[in-house]
Amino acid sequence: MTFLDAIHAADRRIRPVVRETGLEASPPFSERTGQEVLLKLENLQHTGSFKLRGAANKILSLGTPAPDTKVVTASSGNHGAAVAYALRGVGGRGLIFVPNGASPAKVANIRRLGAEVEFVGEDSADTEAHARRYAEERGWPYVPPYNDPDVVAGQGTIAAELLRQGGPIDNVFVSVGGGGLIGGIATYLKAVSPRTRIIGCSPAASCVMARSVEAGEVLDLPSGATLSDGTAGGIEPGTITFALCRDHVDHWIDVDEEEIAEAMRLFIDGHHMLLEGAAGVALAGLCKAGPAWTQGRSVAVICGANISRPVLRSVL
| pLDDT for residue 62 | 86
| pLDDT for residue 106 | 85
Calculate Rg over the CA atoms of the chain.
18
Q: How far apart are CA 274 and CA 264, in angstroms?
A: 9
Task: Quickly count: other Cβ atoms within 10 Å of residue 125's Cβ.
Answer: 23
Buried b (16+ CB within 10 A) or exposed e, 185-210: bbbbbbeebeebbbbbbbbbbbbbbb
Confidence of residue 66 (pLDDT cuts 50, 70, 90): low
For residue 35, CA distances in Å to 284, 289, 291 come to 15, 12, 9
Q: Is the pLDDT of residue 63 over 90?
A: no
Q: How far apart are CA 176 and CA 183, in angstroms?
A: 9
DSSP letters along 100-111, please?
TT--HHHHHHHH
CB-CB contact of 115 with 55 (8 Å): no
Residue-range domain boundaries for the chain: 3-50+148-315, 51-138
Q: What is the mean pLDDT of the chain?
A: 94
Burial label, 215 (beta-carbon count in 10 A; 0-12, 13-18, 19+): exposed
Same fold flag, 3-50+148-315 and 51-138: yes
| pLDDT for residue 219 | 95
Q: Is the pLDDT of residue 67 over 80?
A: no
Q: Does the domain spanning 51-138 belong to CATH 3.40.50.1100?
A: yes
- In eight-state DSSP terms, residue 198 is E
| pLDDT for residue 263 | 98
| pLDDT for residue 166 | 81
| pLDDT for residue 88 | 86
Who has greater pLDDT, 101 or 16? Answer: 16
| pLDDT for residue 90 | 82
CA 89 from chain center: how many Å? 22
Query: In the beta sheet, which residues pair with residue 74?
Result: 97
Confidence of residue 91 (pLDDT cuts 50, 70, 90): confident
Among the listed ranges 76-85, 100-109, 111-120, which one has the minimum average pLDDT value? 100-109
Condensed to tens digits (0 to 9), the pLDDT of residues 228-279 reads 998 988 898 999 999 999 999 999 999 999 999 999 999 999 999 999 999 9
| pLDDT for residue 65 | 65
Residue ranges of the alpha helices (H) in 139-276? Answer: 149-166, 180-192, 208-215, 240-248, 257-271
Condensed to tens digits (0 to 9), the pLDDT of residues 183-237 reads 999 999 999 999 999 999 999 999 999 999 999 999 999 899 999 998 988 898 9
Condensed to tens digits (0 to 9), the pLDDT of residues 133-181 reads 999 999 999 999 999 999 999 999 999 999 999 889 999 999 999 999 9
CB-CB contact of 59 with 12 (8 Å): no
Task: Collapse the DSSP code of 308 into the 3-class scheme (helix H, G, I; strand E, B; otherwise coil) and give the result.
Answer: coil
Confidence of residue 125 (pLDDT cuts 50, 70, 90): confident
312-316 average pLDDT score:
95
Q: How far apart are CA 201 and CA 300, in angstroms?
A: 10
Q: How far apart are CA 135 and CA 13, in angstroms?
A: 25
Look at phi and psi of residue 233 and say left if phi exceeds 0, alpha if psi is from -120 to 50, else beta: left
State how beta strands 197-203 and 23-25 pair: unpaired
Fold of 3-50+148-315: Rossmann fold (3.40.50)
- In eight-state DSSP terms, residue 26 is -
- The interaxial angle of helices 208-215 and 240-248, nearest 10 deg, is 70
36-40 average pLDDT score:
98
For residue 117, CA distances in Å to 43, 46, 191, 203, 300 come to 23, 20, 38, 27, 32
Task: Quickly count: other Cβ atoms within 10 Å of residue 78's Cβ.
Answer: 29
Residue at 130: amino acid letter: H
